[in-house]
Amino acid sequence: MGKKNKEKTPGDDRKVTSAVVEGLKKLYKSKVLPLEQLYKFADFHSPYMLDSDFDARPMVLMLGQYSTGKTTFIRYLVERDFPGMHIGPEPTTDRFCAIQYGNEERVTPGNALAVQADKPFRGLTKFGTAFLSKFQGAETPAPILEELTIIDTPGVLSGEKQRLGRSYDFVQVTEWFAEKCDLILLLFDAHKLDISDEFKRVITSLKGHDDKIRLVLNKADMITGQQLMRVYGALMWSLGKVIQTPEVMRVYIGSFWDQPLHNDENKRLFDAEQRDLLSDLRALPRNSAVRKINELVKRARLAKVHALIISHLKNEMPAMFGKSAKQAELIANLEEECVKIQRQHGIPPGDFPDLNRMKELLSVHDFGKFPKLDKRIIESMDEVLANDIPALMRKFPQDTATKAEQLLGELGEANPFALANANPFATVKFLVDQIDENSRAKFYGIFESLKPVDGKIDGNQAKSVLVESKLPRDVLGKIWVLADVDKDGKLDCEEFALAMHFVHVRLADEPLPAVLPRSLYPPKLLAQMASEAH
């Protein structure tokens, strides 16, 4: 008999992913970093990469003008208040905040966070104390944060507020985070579609990261379907003038919080959009290693072009006299010089950096001190792109099972809300309330009106009542999990009373328990447990 194929487990995939990341570290240190150091890459582009940059969890960057719901959306994802959280109609988030997993809730000031070797924020030290005093880390024990790090940002200013200025370069800081992040969410308020000058600069700075950008049209339940159609068109028209690209970015439409909808006319659309957005987030941990490979490829290509530009400028400098004049001429005609490099080395135009910014940075350097072209190190970079990266890709698993997907599967197909919009990262807090007898009698009456069969109702019967609460489907999905005590995919009168109780708990803006408290166990179940104990 032949040997049986060993079934692959998620642990096997994690080992392979870890091996890929380790391979990326070695590849960067042995071949990419030497080129960057020789041609002063960090002076013109991003700082040299550290181990923490490779080991970091996937990051999601939240951007938007003030009062677009960024912090509320983060609270919706982590399902709890987090340290330093402020929500209000005016700019209440006044700093960048890295929301990470921690066993205990705490806040770490930016100066301390930026020097920690195990955190991916050491590159932020280049922005100085003026920025670091407006940066902090917040740790909280939310399951989603075991898989992701979320970056909350100050609201982008508009109107008179833009003229006040900031003590740091907001656009450059945003650009730094955009390069490090795996997903960038641009949030828009359905009532405020004007794009301020500062937000335009922010969006423009994201050029080159188009594959990471998603748009979120938030607070969409505050308007009618007809108004929503017009608002969506206006948003696309406004963005078209800023982004200046024929490709349409993915837009998620909804109201991303856990409160009942003000206008449920488009509820099915909102549910589908929330499901798609959560699926996008679920994919980040699974694809994090692929994303790191992609980012290293972009960095390696940019480093190669940078080396060719620097060495070309060095080669064009005179040996003795007229160096200053020649340097000024080369900077002024940088576009023409890059065309020469493009033709000589066969470099695609899209690989060249922002030449206007490059001119500003070149003006403070002495071209005479630039190194000459080292063909050996350029050939090494070609080997990285042609051979080393593809070899790493072949090691990467194609069907990694993530913790998030496992959690989603645990909801079960019998849950009428499970496949609609379950948030697999969601956590819930503890509650010890009892169901009072008057409420219980009312819930029993509703149960009997649903015409139970053999003393139970199925998911469709329960759904017809529960959806009247207008609670999001992922919240109703969690309520079903709590109420279906015996996990048979149906509810008896006691279980239905539990479901209705939890609906009223959420409508009162109280948290749900993570597991069903013993004080809320149906009497029949308690009697059964006592019998089994004896």
The predicted structure's pLDDT at residue 138: 92
Alpha helices (H) along 317-374:
323-332, 334-345, 355-362
Look up the domain containing 423 and give its range.
Answer: 410-533
- Would residue 453 count as lying in a domain? yes
Per the structure, the count of domains in the chain is 2
Of 259, 275, 299, which residue constitutes the final position of a domain?
259
Q: Which of 121, 122, 82, 80 is nearest to 99 (CA)?
A: 82
Measured at the alpha carbon of residue 450, what is the angle toward residues 444 and 455, in degrees to the nearest 5? 65
Cα 26 from Cα 52, distance rounded (Å)? 13
- Would residue 87 count as lying in a domain? yes
Instruction: Judge whether 151 and 182 are in contact, CB under 8 Å.
Output: no
- Would residue 425 count as lying in a domain? yes
- Would residue 330 count as lying in a domain? no
The CATH number of the domain holding residue 479 is: 1.10.238.10
- What amino acid occupies position 428? V
- Would residue 208 count as lying in a domain? yes
Pair of tokens at residue 56: 């970091």
Our measurement of the distance from residue 100's CA atom to the centroid of its chain's CA atoms, rounded to an integer in Å, reads 12
Report field, pTM of the whole predicted structure over 0.85: no
- Would residue 520 count as lying in a domain? yes
Q: Which of 455, 446, 457 is nearest to 503 (CA)?
A: 446
Q: Which of 158, 235, 232 is nearest to 199 (CA)?
A: 158
Instruction: Judge whether 39 and 311 are in contact, CB under 8 Å.
Output: yes
The CATH number of the domain holding residue 114 is: 3.40.50.300
The predicted structure's pLDDT at residue 15: 67
Beta bridge partners of 218: 189
Of 259, 276, 295, which residue constitutes the final position of a domain?
259
| Close Cβ partners of 113 (under 8 Å, ≥ 6 residues apart) | 98, 119, 121, 135, 136, 137
**Helix/strand/coil for 141:** coil
The predicted structure's pLDDT at residue 272: 82
- Would residue 522 count as lying in a domain? yes
Of 200, 229, 259, which residue constitutes the final position of a domain?
259
- Would residue 357 count as lying in a domain? no
The predicted structure's pLDDT at residue 313: 92
The predicted structure's pLDDT at residue 305: 93
The predicted structure's pLDDT at residue 432: 33
The predicted structure's pLDDT at residue 527: 63
The predicted structure's pLDDT at residue 429: 32
On the CB side of 230, CA atoms within 13 Å amount to 7
Alpha helices (H) along 58-169:
70-78, 110-113, 128-132
* Low-confidence residues in the chain, pLDDT < 70: 1-16, 86-93, 157-165, 244-248, 258, 396-435, 518-534
The predicted structure's pLDDT at residue 261: 75
**End-to-end Cα distance, the chain:** 49
Pair of tokens at residue 428: 């819930």
Length of the chain: 534
Tell me the longest C-alpha to C-alpha distance in the chain: 101
| Close Cβ partners of 123 (under 8 Å, ≥ 6 residues apart) | 46, 47, 53, 176, 180
